[in-house]
Amino acid sequence: MTERSPMGAGAPEGNVNALETLNDAIELAEGYLLEAGESRPTGDDLLVRFVACLRHRDLVGEPHQAIAQRLAHFAKLLSAIGLKQGSLTIADLTLRHMEISEADQEIYPAAVWNDLGMLLAEHGDVERSRLVLSCALNRARRSAAPELARILSNLSAVSLRADDLEDARIWAEQSVRAMGKYWSVDNPEARLTTDWVLLEIARIQQDQPAIGRALDDFSTSAEQFIRVKGSEHPRAIAALAALTAAKFEVAAASDDTDVSEQTLGDLETISLNASAILGSDHRQTIVTQASLAEAEFTAAEQGPTFDARRKRAVAMLETVADNASATLGRDHPQTREVRRKLAELRAAVTPAQELPYLIDQVYRPQQNTERNEAKKSALTRERSIIRLIAHAGASYFLSHVDLFYPAIIRALERHIHFHVVLSSPWNSLAVFSKRDATTEKANVQNIVDLVEDSQYYLETFLPVIQSYLRLQEQYGDLIELRLTPMDISGSTLLTTDMGFFEPYLTANPDFRTRRGLSAFEIRFSQSSRYYDDSVAAFNTQWELASTWGQFGAHEEQHKQILRDVVSALSDDKPGRAVKEGAERPR
């Protein structure tokens, strides 16, 4: 490849403050990786500037297989030495380069695509990771590459990260079949991953018989991995911790105190070894300590010193959460999971009235996509009940809006309850409906017609109700919708772990639906006082709102109430003539 600045010669001579070539940057990053822990006062700046200067145009030229591999290697190095954003930038650049280079011919082998998929997963981009790994898979199948089992196991792991349990299982089972053909003791990681994924699926689904089978298989693959890689390999420690934690859960679920205490002690030993051998900031130390904290919290429920033990477990998890934020990044999916668990445990030990008013994130209008993704993720992870208060609910009930409807369907398929409170179209907000110069002014006679002819009623309210009735027919008691005549101050979405609230700034019902984020939205966890208050508010609305049947039976009354409201507001009252010059009645 013809290397141009900053890829090659062309950088100003004598500029000792800049990296000139990709090789220079790789060499510097490799040095830092091998000297982990030593200070690097200026190196980070050099690498960051190099990444910033590198552009796709610098890679254009004769496609060269080695370039993509070097870039992927560089991206891995940057991630390993803590320059996460730089790593993601290089990964994006590498992917773009590979896609364009392969416009008319296949160049890069399955292993390179696999590496890129692994990097994207590491950065939390599970959707792109899946797509890239699928490309790797097709490549591996065509060439009968030895990476086939690894790619399949990676697909299973990334599907699990995306909470797609069915896909994860399918990929894991395919990986097992592939390993039957290409079994090799030189690649124990693939088997370890596969058995680990199957254990996690069984845990999530709380399938006790499957957990037992998966435990046996995972124990076997962990042992083999340790025989090949050694017990001090980070993955070995992680596997031991996962295995022991799963055994603890089985014992705790069956009230086997002896075994649960034994496995708890084993978890402590593993956590001690992780800290001492890998260091306090290593990812596997962090997750091992998270496992221990959670297990301790659970075990404490069974003894007389439970209060002190639980509080210590929460304190430990707080430290783990801080370490995860510092090491992995605040937004890393592992960090978010640790914080989610911490919120759950905090809420369990703190009386509701003592919980702080904590906001995890504030979304602004320009963060509409981020907000939507967070909600989808919350819906996907829910295992019990989803509660919603909204004006119209279009995002959740209308498939053509293409927002949360698929997640709701998947939740219902998982037998998750979905309880919804929506605004009645006949509440007093109808007087604020959108009008233009051609629209007749609202009065007692026409207000109901105006509502029934409105875009909101025809294109949102009625379709939402139709969708609800279809879903109710299919899912029965899992889903229930109620209508409230009271004004709703904002939309609230509550899952078991977290809540979202967006205030309505407008009283016009037409502007409260079918639009992006217009003001702001907050996200809070279950350990925030906002969560407790929101649940209480939902329960109140739920009790006061009408079921669909009740609403239908009393709809004429609601319409009349609306007419009465308009009458009270309007000067144009029926039967009264207003004479010119006459005094207005006081």
User: Which CB, 221 or 424, lies closer to other proteins?
Assistant: 221
Segment lying near other proteins (by CB under 8 A), choices 56-64, 189-197, 505-513, 542-550: 189-197
Q: How far, in Å, CA of 281 to CA of 373, rounded? A: 29
75 neighbors 22 (Cβ within 8 angstroms) = no
The region that residue 19 occupies, defined by phi over 0 for left and psi between -120 and 50 for alpha, beta otherwise, is: beta
**283 binds other proteins, rule: CB under 8 A:** yes
What's the min distance (Å) between Cβ of 287 and other proteins?
4
Site for other proteins in 190-219 (CB under 8 A): 190, 192-193, 196-197, 200, 203-204, 206, 212, 215-216, 219
Burial class (CB in 10 A: 0-12, 13-18, 19+), 512: buried
User: Which CB, 150 or 371, lies closer to other proteins?
Assistant: 150
Residues 341-360, mask of contacts with other proteins (x by CB under 8 A)? x--x----------------
Site for other proteins in 17-46 (CB under 8 A): 30, 33-34, 36-38
Residue 524 belongs to what H/E stretch?
A: strand 521-525
**In this structure, are strands 479-484 and 546-547 parallel, antiparallel, or unpaired?**
antiparallel
291 neighbors 268 (Cβ within 8 angstroms) = no
Q: How far, in Å, CA of 52 to CA of 313, rounded? A: 43
User: Which CB, 56 or 227, lies closer to other proteins?
Assistant: 227
Alpha-carbon radius of gyration of the chain: 29
Q: How far, in Å, CA of 366 to CA of 370, rounded? A: 9
Q: Of 273, 325, 361, 472, which lies in the binding site for other proteins, with binding defined by CB under 8 A?
A: 273
What's the min distance (Å) between Cβ of 466 and other proteins?
34
Cα–Cα–Cα angle for 111, 190, 144, rounded to 5 degrees:
45
User: Which CB, 72 or 545, lies closer to other proteins?
Assistant: 72
Give the residue from 187, 168, 291 showing the smallest Cα distance to 239.
291
Segment lying near other proteins (by CB under 8 A), choices 41-49, 269-277, 362-370, 559-567: 269-277
What's the min distance (Å) between Cβ of 53 and other proteins?
24
What is the dihedral sign for C-alpha 260, 266, 269, 275? negative
Segment lying near other proteins (by CB under 8 A), choices 283-291, 419-427, 485-493, 551-559: 283-291
User: Which CB, 157 or 562, lies closer to other proteins?
Assistant: 157
Q: Of 92, 164, 294, 510, which lies in the binding site for other proteins, with binding defined by CB under 8 A?
A: 294
Q: Of 89, 334, 361, 446, which lies in the binding site for other proteins, with binding defined by CB under 8 A?
A: 334
Site for other proteins in 462-501 (CB under 8 A): 496
Segment lying near other proteins (by CB under 8 A), choices 7-15, 56-64, 138-146, 247-255: 247-255
**337 binds other proteins, rule: CB under 8 A:** yes
Give me the phi and psi of 164, to 5 degrees please: -95, 85
Site for other proteins in 303-322 (CB under 8 A): 303-305, 308-309, 311-313, 315-316, 319
Report H helices in 144-207.
148-161, 165-182, 188-204
Show the beta-strand stretches assigned E in 11-150. Answer: none
Q: Of 44, 102, 223, 480, which lies in the binding site for other proteins, with binding defined by CB under 8 A?
A: 223
Q: Of 175, 244, 395, 492, which lies in the binding site for other proteins, with binding defined by CB under 8 A?
A: 244
Q: Of 19, 28, 59, 242, which lies in the binding site for other proteins, with binding defined by CB under 8 A?
A: 242
The three-class DSSP label of residue 363 is strand
**259 binds other proteins, rule: CB under 8 A:** yes
The three-class DSSP label of residue 247 is helix
Token pair listed for 246: 């799963």
What's the min distance (Å) between Cβ of 398 and other proteins?
31
Site for other proteins in 377-436 (CB under 8 A): 383
Q: Which residue type is seen at 522?
A: I
What's the min distance (Å) between Cβ of 117 and other proteins?
8
Segment lying near other proteins (by CB under 8 A), choices 297-305, 356-364, 367-375, 461-469: 297-305
Q: How far, in Å, CA of 192 to CA of 506, rounded? A: 54
Residues 520-559, mask of contacts with other proteins (x by CB under 8 A)? ----------------------------------------
Site for other proteins in 164-183 (CB under 8 A): 183
Of the CA atoms within 13 Å of residue 68, those in its CB half-sphere come to 25
Give the residue from 464, 460, 462, 457 showing the smallest Cα distance to 430.
457
Give the residue from 428, 565, 402 showing the smallest Cα distance to 507.
428
Count of residues binding other proteins (CB under 8 A)? 113
How crowded is residue 319: how many other Cβ atoms within 10 Å of its Cβ? 13
572 neighbors 443 (Cβ within 8 angstroms) = yes
Segment lying near other proteins (by CB under 8 A), choices 12-20, 267-275, 458-466, 474-482: 267-275
Reply yes or no: is the peptide bond before residue 6 cis, omega within 30 of 0. yes
User: Which CB, 323 or 546, lies closer to other proteins?
Assistant: 323
Q: Which residue's entry shows tokens 């089972």? A: 173
User: Which CB, 281 or 555, lies closer to other proteins?
Assistant: 281
Residue partners of 484: CB distance under 8 A and separation at least 6? 421, 422, 423, 424, 427, 541, 544, 545, 546
Segment lying near other proteins (by CB under 8 A), choices 263-271, 421-429, 454-462, 463-471: 263-271
What is the dihedral sign for C-alpha 445, 442, 463, 418? negative
Site for other proteins in 101-130 (CB under 8 A): 111, 114-115, 117-119, 121-122, 129
Site for other proteins in 141-160 (CB under 8 A): 150, 153-154, 157-158, 160
